[in-house]
A and B are shown apart, each in its own frame.
Chain A
Amino acid sequence: MKRTIAFGLLAFVVLVACGGNGSDVTDGASGGLSGTIVIDGSSTVTPLITVAAEDFQTANPDVRVTVATSGTGGGFEKFCVGETDVSMASRPIAEDESATCQANGIEPVEFIVANDALSVIVNPDNDWASCLTVEQLNTMWAPESEGEVDNWNLVDSSFPEQNLELFGAGSDSGTFDFFTDEINGEEGAIRTDYNPSEDDNVTIVGVEGDVGAVGFLGLSYVLENEGRVVAVEIDGGNGCVAPSADAVIDGSYVPLGRPLFVYFKAESLRRPEVEAFARFYADNQETITETALFIPLSEEQASEQQAELDAITGG
Chain B
Amino acid sequence: MVQSAARRVPQVSLRATGATRRRVYVQAIFKAIFGLMAFLTVGVTFLIFLSLLVPALRFFSEVSLGEFFGRTTWAPLFSPPRFGVWPILAGTAWTTAIALLVALPLGLGVAVYLSEYAHRRVRSVVKPFLEILAGIPTVVLGFFGLFLVNPEIVRRFWPVGEVSTFSGLAAGLVVGIMIVPTVASLSEDAMNAVPRGLREGGFALGGTRREVATKVVFPAALSGIVAATVLAGSRAIGETTIVLIVAGSRPTLTWNPGEQMQSMASFIGFAGIGDQPTGSTGYLTIFAVGLVLFVITFLLNIASIRIVRRFREVYE
Q: A198-B273, A199-B273 are in contact. List 14 more A-B contacts (CB 8 A).
A: A74-B275, A74-B276, A163-B161, A170-B274, A171-B78, A188-B78, A192-B73, A195-B249, A196-B77, A196-B249, A198-B274, A208-B165, A212-B162, A213-B164
Please determine whether B165 and A206 come into contact, CB atoms closer than 8 angstroms. Answer: yes
* Listed A/B pairs (25) with beta-carbon separation below 8 Å: A70-B273, A70-B274, A74-B274, A78-B275, A165-B164, A170-B274, A171-B77, A172-B77, A192-B78, A193-B250, A193-B252, A195-B166, A195-B249, A195-B260, A196-B77, A196-B249, A196-B250, A198-B274, A206-B164, A206-B165, A206-B166, A208-B165, A209-B165, A210-B164, A213-B164
Residues A163 and B162 in contact in the complex (CB < 8 Å), given A170-B77, A188-B79, A196-B250: yes
Which 5 A-B residue pairs are closest in the complex by CB-CB distance?
A209-B165, A192-B75, A195-B250, A70-B275, A77-B277
Report B-chain residues with C-beta under 8 Å of the C-beta of A280: none
Report B-chain residues with C-beta under 8 Å of the C-beta of A190: 78
Chain A interface size, under 10 / 10 to 19 / 20 to 34 / 35 or more: 20 to 34
B55 within 8 A of A: no
A197 within 8 A of B: yes
Bound Cα distance A202, B248 (Å):
9
Bound Cα distance A212, B166 (Å):
14
B235 within 8 A of A: no
Report A-chain residues with C-beta under 8 Å of the C-beta of B250: 193-196
B82 within 8 A of A: yes
Q: Report A22-44 CB contacts with B as 1/0, cut-off 8 Å.
A: 00000000000000000000000
The answer, among A71, A196, A198, A205, for a CB contact under 8 Å with B165, is A205
Within 8 A of B (CB), among A57-101: 70-71, 74, 77-78
Of all chain B residues, the one with the shortest Cβ separation from A197 is B249
Count chain B CB atoms within 10 A of each CB in A70, A74, A196, A198 and give the residue with the most: A196
Of all chain A residues, the one with the shortest Cβ separation from B74 is A192
Count chain A CB atoms within 10 A of each CB in B73, B79, B274, B277 and give the residue with the most: B274
Bound Cα distance A74, B270 (Å):
13
Q: Report B129-164 CB contacts with A as 1/0, cut-off 8 Å.
A: 000000000000000000000010000000001101
Within 8 A of B (CB), among A156-214: 163, 165, 170-172, 188, 190, 192-199, 202, 205-206, 208-210, 212-213
Residues A206 and B78 in contact in the complex (CB < 8 Å), given A70-B274, A170-B274, A192-B73: no
Chain B interface size, under 10 / 10 to 19 / 20 to 34 / 35 or more: 20 to 34
Count chain A CB atoms within 10 A of each CB in B161, B249, B276 and give the residue with the most: B249
Within 8 A of A (CB), among B72-94: 73, 75, 77-79, 82
Residues A210 and B162 in contact in the complex (CB < 8 Å), given A188-B79, A192-B78, A196-B250: yes
Q: Report B259-296 CB contacts with A as 1/0, cut-off 8 Å.
A: 01000000000000111110000000000000000000
Report A-chain residues with C-beta under 8 Å of the C-beta of B161: 163
Bound Cα distance A206, B146 (Å):
11
Bound Cα distance A206, B151 (Å):
12
Within 8 A of A (CB), among B50-86: 73, 75, 77-79, 82
Report A-chain residues with C-beta under 8 Å of the C-beta of B249: 170, 195-197, 202
Report B-chain residues with C-beta under 8 Å of the C-beta of A74: 274-277
Of all chain A residues, the one with the shortest Cβ separation from B165 is A209
Report B-chain residues with C-beta under 8 Å of the C-beta of A196: 77, 249-250
Bound Cα distance A205, B249 (Å):
13
Bound Cα distance A70, B77 (Å):
13
Q: Report B151-193 CB contacts with A as 1/0, cut-off 8 Å.
A: 1000000000110111000000000000000000000000000
Report B-chain residues with C-beta under 8 Å of the C-beta of A78: 275
Please determine whether A209 and B164 come into contact, CB atoms closer than 8 angstroms. Answer: yes
Bound Cα distance A105, B250 (Å):
38
- Nearest CB of chain B from residue A151's CB, rounded to whole Å: 12
Residues A77 and B275 in contact in the complex (CB < 8 Å), given A193-B250, A212-B162: yes
Report A-chain residues with C-beta under 8 Å of the C-beta of B277: 74, 77
Residues A192 and B82 in contact in the complex (CB < 8 Å), given A206-B165, A206-B248, A212-B162: yes
Report B-chain residues with C-beta under 8 Å of the C-beta of A188: 78-79
Report A-chain residues with C-beta under 8 Å of the C-beta of B151: 209
